[in-house]
Amino acid sequence: MYRVFGKAGLFVWIGMSTVIANIQVLKTVEMLGLVATLGNITYGTVFLATDILNENHGKKEAKKAVWMGFSSLLIMTIVMQFVLRFTPHADDFAQGSLETIFELIPNISIGSMLAYVVSQYIDVWIYGKIKQLLPSNKYLWIRNNGSTMISQFIDTLIFCSIAFYDVHQFDVWLNILFTTYIIKFVVSALDTPFLYIAKKIKPKIEHK
């Protein structure tokens, strides 16, 4: 998307993937021997996209993208609450499935939104600070991994604390926190080559 649409493509991707990740989070899978929610992979790409914006277009654009993602998630949540309040037709078959996916669970919704805003802002801030200290392209991997791995931990801590701390025993909660972060950590490490590629890309739409 970045090659074809430039930074506008990243804005769209951040809004879209934030919504997708919060739907995928309901699906549990086993990865690398760890049980985790599928949304972690898609959600990890949001941090990559904001890092690309920060690197190639500056902190201001990255912060705009953070609010784009938050607004998309908030609007989707509100709209779907209205959708669920409509009385389904007698022959309707989708209401139950929609309720399973979009029914508002306060602690999960609040935890998700708060974790997103706080962690994304921290990611943008740390990335900018590291770039000031280590501006050379050879330190691109440090900027990417340093900012993302710290902010992803904060994201995981906030979300798990609000969503699950009072729901599970402490050892279970700690296991959820650990496995969720490990998956995010691995995804963060694997996305580094894509930041190097994005650094070299000259978006078509911005060079016409």
- CATH number, position 127: 1.10.1760
CA quadruple 189, 19, 49, 53: dihedral, nearest 10: -150
| CA angle (72, 73, 77) in 5-degree steps | 115
Distances (CA, A) of 123 to 127, 171, 189, 206: 6, 28, 15, 26
Which SS3 state, helix, strand or coil, does residue 34 take? Answer: strand
For 56-144, list the strands marked E by DSSP: none
Domain count, the chain: 1
Q: Which domain does 183 fall in, by range?
A: 2-207
Q: At what angle do helices 106-133 and 140-164 cross, to 10 degrees?
A: 160
- Sequence-separated (6 or more) residues with CB below 8 Å from residue 166: 107
Per-residue pLDDT of the chain (208 residues; tens, 9 = 90+): 788 888 999 999 999 999 999 888 878 777 667 767 778 888 999 999 999 999 999 999 999 999 999 999 999 999 999 999 999 999 999 999 999 888 877 788 888 899 999 999 999 999 999 999 999 999 999 999 999 999 999 999 999 899 888 878 888 888 888 888 988 888 888 999 999 999 888 787 665 5
Query: What pLDDT is stored for residue 13 in this prediction?
Result: 96
Query: What pLDDT is stored for residue 173 in this prediction?
Result: 86
